[in-house]
Chains A and B, each alone.
Chain A
Amino acid sequence: MIDGSTWNSAARLPCFPVTYLDHAATTPMRPEALAVYTAVLADTGNASSLHASGRRARRVVEEAREALAAQLGARPSDVVFTAGGTEGDNLALKGLYWARRAVDPARRRILVSAVEHRAVLDTVDWLGAAQGAQVELLDVDEIGLVHPSTLEAAIARDPASVAVVSVMWANSEVGTVQPVARLAAVAHRYGVPFHTDAVQAFGQIPVAIGADGPDAITVSAHKVGGPVGVGALIARRGLVLEPHTHGGGQERDVRSGTLNTAGVAAFAAAATTACAQAPVEAGRLAALRDDLVRRVCEQVPTAVLNGPPLDTAGGVGEPGDAGGARRLPGNAHLSFPGCEGDSLLMLLDARGIECSTGSACSAGVARPSHVLLAMGATEQQARGSLRFSLGHTSRAADVDALVAAIGPVAERAGRAGALAGTYGG
């Protein structure tokens, strides 16, 4: 039962300090965001109401909108608050596809990278299966990068039939930072709107909308230290979106539902802190991450880093371009040949070290990562991988704990992995 009397009971607390290396899944709420969140939650008021309580709530929402817009180079009116990243991706892709097709029925092609999050891939799959879209996956190279020439070639095959292009700002598994400005420029040259899922990038590296950037950006609160259940689609003025849910039209008439006043306020607070700290934090996390990768590979010499090579310079310069960060500063993604990812995860979990195998199905089964497969890895390599992601609460002691555990864990998982195919024969 979830109630105040039992939620914090001793049985729920871990019996040892947890080493949390899964910030890309969700990162702890920042204290300032939690303070704002709980304070606003305690206040009554629907931001759409016309009385004093409603005006008070509306003021909180609009201040949050302005604060968030400022972090993304956007106007306040560009911000469409959502219930999270998945909704933002759905709204952008369905909204743009439907709106573009309504104007010109020939515009049925949707171009997305092969390494997108499932919020994008499953949405475009559905548009293909049920809405007549022709979905084309853009190939990536061995570090997960979409080359502008790949996008150019895909559009140029038949520019008049492209409805929308979507390429994530940074990859959720291997941390590859895409050359978003150059990709957006290619799309714009053909008059095609460009959307990017920046859920992983926002708050870690500079992310902005604008004439030289994406037309629409998906962001999520809980990845930057805000609460789960809040996000935003940043859609530049004039970008026409067909709504995919219907109701009161509270957000620019494309998104309905009572505004989550406390959620957006906490989101804005978390985003403001994350973005303010990012220039320094990126260097700190990249240094920690480099240390993690180097020392894990010392303990397990067969381990292989997936994705872009380490970039100790951190997140400076233009993302994805020469001189800039090619990899999210907090991301380390490693393959352990001969080991199953879920064995590694379980053994680390038993030692209080929490990480991710990248993707799991709805039943909780670890699946070979489609991202690694798209990068050319074998199914076996894709299964034997772990993602360690660092964030604002990460410290050197977290890396030390992982380094102390990983050798025996990989050795044991390797023994289990060596059984594959030997039993039952």
Chain B
Amino acid sequence: MRVLAAMSGGVDSAVAAARAVDAGHEVTGVHLALSRSPASDRVGARGCCTLEDARDARRAADRLGIPFYVWDLAERFEADVIDEFVASYAAGRTPNPCVRCNERIKFAAVLDRALALGFDAVVTGHHARLDPDGTLRRSVDPGKDQSYVLGTLRSAQLAAARFPLGDSTKAQVRAEASARGLAVADKPDSHDICFIADGDTGGWLRDRLGSRPGPIRDAQTGATLGEHDGTFAFTVGQRRGLRLGQPAPDGRPRYVLDISPATSTVTVGPAEALDVRRLVAERTVWPHEGVLTCQAQVRAHGGVVPAQAQGRGDELVVTLGAPVRGTAPGQAVILYDGDRVLGGGHIRTTAS
């Protein structure tokens, strides 16, 4: 097969490309340039948008003896991921940009272009398994499993995807990189949001959305407890950084319950008011009939809860067997049967 290996400059994608070479495929490495004016150095464990990462990817490709190119996807990334991220926050939702990037960039723009250019598949370093029948499953490494951020991919997208790392733990991948002489073997894992270089999401959003002050209200009394600079600095379920002058009457901590950008109001209240037992998802992938008993995951590194899910037109209605706290519209809900991904969607509304 002719395969295109998406190489971020990290250890996972380098080993994934190496395994594709070992499997006898004709492999071409591509680094995706996602930033319009990439910073030249990498700071700590953030990001995948630097010249240093491009160089690390190139050096891994050299080591593997495969051709290497850089594809400029900055414009599409800005339109499909960054702008959407900003718009979501402005609308009071909490988006997951990695899910979006997989849906629109890696397994859409890149995949489509690869297929049009004559490649048969795209290889990435995601920690997930893909069965020959197209079933997506969790990685054998529960700490590194990335099936959640792949869970909204359609079957046609998965059909041309290859994830060679799903049967290995991260420790095994690092050891293999070291044994192969790949210089990225010890490179720190990337986390956080790659396009927010300093990790200060609130500050980054304020630069783009401007200051939009408003009240922080108590859900029970309706009293104004404080002021804020903009609803985008808050996430449903957040406790820290509220800086409320007065304690709650019962002395218990308060959490963000709701964000209303239209009135620039942040509503806070007790933890139990965060409990979500039912949610409706949109933009779904749900190739099933009837009610399915399964497990639901609502954040990238969260646990699962028992759930019942049923498609309803383009939507997916999920009833949770146990309450989850602080689930916000905009996040993805992915449904599992054990380690098998059944499908999922983007949370539109939640209810207790």
Interface on A for B, CB 8 Å cutoff?
11, 342-343, 346-347, 349-350, 362-367, 412-413, 415-416, 418-419, 422-424
Offer 8 A-B interface pairs, CB within 8 angstroms, sorted by A: A342-B71, A364-B58, A364-B69, A416-B112, A418-B116, A419-B109, A423-B108, A424-B109
Mark contacts of B94-111 with chain A using CB atoms, 8 A cut-off: 1 yes-contact digit, 0 otherwise.
000000000111001100
Q: A11-B65, A412-B116 are contacts. A365–B80 as well, Cβ < 8 Å?
A: no
Q: How far is the CA of A343 from the CA of B62 in the complex (A)?
A: 20
> Taking the nearest CB of chain B, how far is it from the CB of A142, in angstroms?
26
Please determine whether A363 and B112 come into contact, CB atoms closer than 8 angstroms: no
Q: A11-B65, A416-B117 are contacts. A364–B112 as well, Cβ < 8 Å?
A: no
> Taking the nearest CB of chain B, how far is it from the CB of A190, in angstroms?
38
Contacts of B65 in A (CB 8 A): 11
Interface on B for A, CB 8 Å cutoff?
28, 31, 33, 38, 51, 54, 58, 65, 67, 69-72, 74, 76, 80, 103-105, 108-109, 112-113, 116-118
Residue of A nearest to B55 (CB): A363
Contacts of B103 in A (CB 8 A): 424
Q: How far is the CA of A422 from the CA of B103 in the complex (A)?
A: 14
Please determine whether A364 and B54 come into contact, CB atoms closer than 8 angstroms: yes
Most buried by A among B28, B70, B103, B104: B70
Contacts of B67 in A (CB 8 A): 346, 349-350
* Pick from A349, A363, A366, A416: contact of B116, CB under 8 Å: A416
> Taking the nearest CB of chain B, how far is it from the CB of A22, in angstroms?
15
Given pairs A412-B117, A424-B108, 19 additional interface contacts (CB within 8 A): A342-B69, A346-B69, A346-B117, A347-B118, A349-B67, A350-B28, A362-B51, A363-B38, A364-B54, A365-B70, A366-B72, A412-B118, A416-B117, A419-B109, A422-B112, A423-B104, A423-B109, A423-B112, A424-B105
Contacts of B31 in A (CB 8 A): 363-364
Residue of A nearest to B81 (CB): A424
Residue of A nearest to B79 (CB): A424
Please determine whether A363 and B118 come into contact, CB atoms closer than 8 angstroms: no
Please determine whether A363 and B70 come into contact, CB atoms closer than 8 angstroms: yes
Residue of A nearest to B69 (CB): A346
Q: How far is the CA of A419 from the CA of B70 in the complex (A)?
A: 18
Please determine whether A343 and B33 come into contact, CB atoms closer than 8 angstroms: no
Please determine whether A363 and B117 come into contact, CB atoms closer than 8 angstroms: no
Q: How far is the CA of A334 from the CA of B266 in the complex (A)?
A: 57
* Pick from B28, B33, B109: contact of A363, CB under 8 Å: B33
Please determine whether A419 and B69 come into contact, CB atoms closer than 8 angstroms: no
Please determine whether B38 and A419 come into contact, CB atoms closer than 8 angstroms: no
Q: How far is the CA of A323 from the CA of B108 in the complex (A)?
A: 52
Q: How far is the CA of A20 from the CA of B158 in the complex (A)?
A: 38
Q: How far is the CA of A365 from the CA of B65 in the complex (A)?
A: 20
Residue of B nearest to A367 (CB): B72
Q: How far is the CA of A413 from the CA of B116 in the complex (A)?
A: 7
Most buried by B among A343, A418, A423: A423
Contacts of B76 in A (CB 8 A): 424
Closest 3 CB pairs of A and B: A416-B116, A364-B70, A424-B104
Q: How far is the CA of A422 from the CA of B80 in the complex (A)?
A: 12
Residue of B nearest to A346 (CB): B69
Please determine whether A342 and B72 come into contact, CB atoms closer than 8 angstroms: yes
* Pick from A362, A365, A413, A419: contact of B72, CB under 8 Å: A365
Contacts of B69 in A (CB 8 A): 342, 346, 364
Contacts of B72 in A (CB 8 A): 342, 365-367
> Taking the nearest CB of chain A, how far is it from the CB of B87, in angstroms?
15
Please determine whether A343 and B80 come into contact, CB atoms closer than 8 angstroms: no
Please determine whether A424 and B117 come into contact, CB atoms closer than 8 angstroms: no
Contacts of A363 in B (CB 8 A): 31, 33, 38, 51, 54, 70
Contacts of A415 in B (CB 8 A): 116-117
Q: How far is the CA of A53 from the CA of B220 in the complex (A)?
A: 92
* Pick from A11, A347, A365, A423: contact of B117, CB under 8 Å: A347
Q: How far is the CA of A418 from the CA of B116 in the complex (A)?
A: 9
Contacts of A346 in B (CB 8 A): 28, 67, 69, 117
Q: How far is the CA of A340 from the CA of B70 in the complex (A)?
A: 13
